[in-house]
């Protein structure tokens, strides 16, 4: 006899979540042999010296658990890099926690700091893991729309803050738009956090991918924000190693202690040999970072010209490696149908724009392109799209 259940078998928290649309588009691309401009991972090799450091670490038998909150060598390297690049002073033993990627860093941070009854502000369009992290923590997401050209809407942000505001998630350079928040925009966030005693959680994973001489500003360096900011970054994007799953948080000791407890029970530690290789990567010469930005600016310029000629409309990225494009001049389909057709019929996979909004009606005329790809991949993608859309004219 089949048992009857009077209560749900799964947590109600999961019913409002969906699987990652970005990863689903990768699966669709793989099934149909499409060029993957959906998921933000490079299709070119990581630097040889970084790979050699990983192999060396394995051969030196860094193959068992590392210290839960990160190997001492890596925490020192993170602290050194944050000092010279971000202007953040930190004690590697008290303020730095190594996580299994920046996604786990975000999840562990939100779960450690937010509770039921708290509100977590994030800017929309937003990377897709911010709202799930908030829901799984039991807190309430409070999306705030960005203004024209994805700039900070000061009045909308002020209206969103209240006595229940516990965290505000800030992503700069921004995924999916490529916007880089200015010092003045970040100062608005800082002032509100101080007024409402809220904590800022900054996703700075694209901090080294900046264009046209722009400056990356870490919120933790403004005023007294070092005491109420969790800075998140990682190895994946800068060092072409998205599969290494090494991220980190930097925060004052009370915040760090809470994050470490959640991280400990969530994942124990990031992969030990990858931690040692990451320490090597973080100590590369400064010329590595300037060359990285130049390389991506070339890719951005190519995609901006190519997509513009095809008929897409978009904000020109100031950082990161994404373009959020409006396809209204090319099709009357919604974003999901358009992205599916792009993948199957055109052979170029993209991400539906609605996946970056809490309200599914938004982003219905947008798709996101990732250009963290070989030049030859981008050239082939633009050629495919040019043929596809010229044939539909």
Tell me the average pLDDT of the chain.
95
Structure confidence by residue, pLDDT tens digits, 120-165 = 999 999 998 999 999 999 999 999 999 999 999 999 999 999 999 9
Q: What is the mean pLDDT of residues 250-278?
A: 97
Q: Which one is predicted more confidently, 264 or 20? A: 264
Judge whether residue 5 has pLDDT over 80: no
pLDDT over 60 at 1, yes or no:
no
Average pLDDT over residues 183-193: 98
Kindly report, residue by residue over 307-332, the tens digit of the pLDDT: 999 999 999 999 999 999 999 999 99
Domain positions in the chain are 12-46+288-392, 48-282
Q: What pLDDT does residue 3 have?
A: 57
Angstrom distance (rounded) from CA 340 to CA 350: 8
The CATH T-level fold of domain 48-282 is 3.40.640
pTM of structure: 0.95
Match domain 12-46+288-392 to its CATH number in 3.90.1150.10, 3.40.50.720, 3.40.50.2300, 3.30.70.1520: 3.90.1150.10
Q: What is the mean pLDDT of residues 386-392?
A: 87
pLDDT of residue 360: 81
Q: How many CB atoms lie within 10 A of CB 17?
A: 12
Locate 128 and state its tokens. 């897709």
pLDDT digits (tens, 9 = 90+) for 56-81: 999 999 999 999 999 999 999 999 99
């Amino acid at each position: 006899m089949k048992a009857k259940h009077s209560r749900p078998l799964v947590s109600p928290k999961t019913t409002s979540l969906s699987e990652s649309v970005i990863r689903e588009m990768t699966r669709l691309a793989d099934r149909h042999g499409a060029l993957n401009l959906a998921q933000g991972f490079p299709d070119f090799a990581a630097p040889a010296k970084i790979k050699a450091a990983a192999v060396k670490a394995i051969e030196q038998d860094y193959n068992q658990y590392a210290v839960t909150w990160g190997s001492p060598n890596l925490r020192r390297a993170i602290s050194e890099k944050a000092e010279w690049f971000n202007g953040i002073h930190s004690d590697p033993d008290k303020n730095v926690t190594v996580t299994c990627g920046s996604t786990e860093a975000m999840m562990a941070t939100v779960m450690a700091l937010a509770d039921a009854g708290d509100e977590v502000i994030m800017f929309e369009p937003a990377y897709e893991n911010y709202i799930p992290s908030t829901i799984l923590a039991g807190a309430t997401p409070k999306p705030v729309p960005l203004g024209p050209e994805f700039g900070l809407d000061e009045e909308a942000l002020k209206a969103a803050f209240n006595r229940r505001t516990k965290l505000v998630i800030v992503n700069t350079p921004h995924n999916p738009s490529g916007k880089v928040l200015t010092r003045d925009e970040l100062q608005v966030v800082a002032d509100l956090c101080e007024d409402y005693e809220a904590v800022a959680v900054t996703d700075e994973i694209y901090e080294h991918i900046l264009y046209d001489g722009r400056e990356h500003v870490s919120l933790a360096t403004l005023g007294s924000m070092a005491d109420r900011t969790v800075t998140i970054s990682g190895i994946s994007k800068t060092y072409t190693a998205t599969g290494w799953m090494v991220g980190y948080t930097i925060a004052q000791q009370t915040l760090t202690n809470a994050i470490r407890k959640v991280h400990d029970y969530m994942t124990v530690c990031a992969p030990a040999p990858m931690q040692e290789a990451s320490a090597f990567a973080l100590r590369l010469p400064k010329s590595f970072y300037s060359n990285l930005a130049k390389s991506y600016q070339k890719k951005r310029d190519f995609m901006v010209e190519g997509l513009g000629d095809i008929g897409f409309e978009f904000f020109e990225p100031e950082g990161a490696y994404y373009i959020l494009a409006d396809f209204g001049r090319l099709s009357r389909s919604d974003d999901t149908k358009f992205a599916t057709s792009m993948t199957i019929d055109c052979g170029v996979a993209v991400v539906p724009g609605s996946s970056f909004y809490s309200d599914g009606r938004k982003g219905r005329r947008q798709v996101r392109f990732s250009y963290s790809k070989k030049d030859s991949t981008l050239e082939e993608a633009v050629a495919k799209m040019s043929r596809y859309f010229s044939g539909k004219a």
